[in-house]
Amino acid sequence: MRHQIALALLTAGTAALVLAGLAVLRLPPPFLRLHALSLASTLGAPLVVLALAVQTGPGRGAVKLLVIGSLLAVGGTVTTMAVGRTTVRRERPGLLRGNQR
């Protein structure tokens, strides 16, 4: 039973990540492409890591996997925001005013 749940989560996560890959190709630059980044790091990666954790079963290994998954989610979110800020400052130089420089 646990294997089926893991496979379902794996399929969903892989689909999300492949969708992110296609989105980064198809979405017009520069701003709409950022959606692919957040999709991959906050939906795809955690789902796949959850599938691996379910497959590994309760224990130390699953905790390590969940730590990696949370690192990916948090790191991905931070980098998506940083890349978005960089894109705004290079594409629309005068847009950000005041303390958002």
The amino acid that residue 69 corresponds to is: G
Q: Does 52 bind another protein (CB under 8 A)?
A: yes
Distances in whole angstroms, Cα of residue 55 to Cα of each of 10, 18, 25, 34, 42: 10, 21, 32, 31, 20
Chosen residue from 2, 30, 57, 63 binding another protein by CB under 8 A: 30
Q: Does 44 bind another protein (CB under 8 A)?
A: yes
In the set 5, 57, 67, 92, which binds another protein (CB under 8 A)? 67
Neighbours of 1 (CB within 10 A): 5
Interacting residues toward another protein by CB under 8 A: 7, 10-11, 13-14, 17-18, 20-22, 24-25, 29-30, 33-34, 36-37, 40-41, 44-45, 48-49, 52, 55-56, 61, 64-65, 67-68, 71-72, 75-76, 78-80, 82-83, 85-87, 89-91, 101
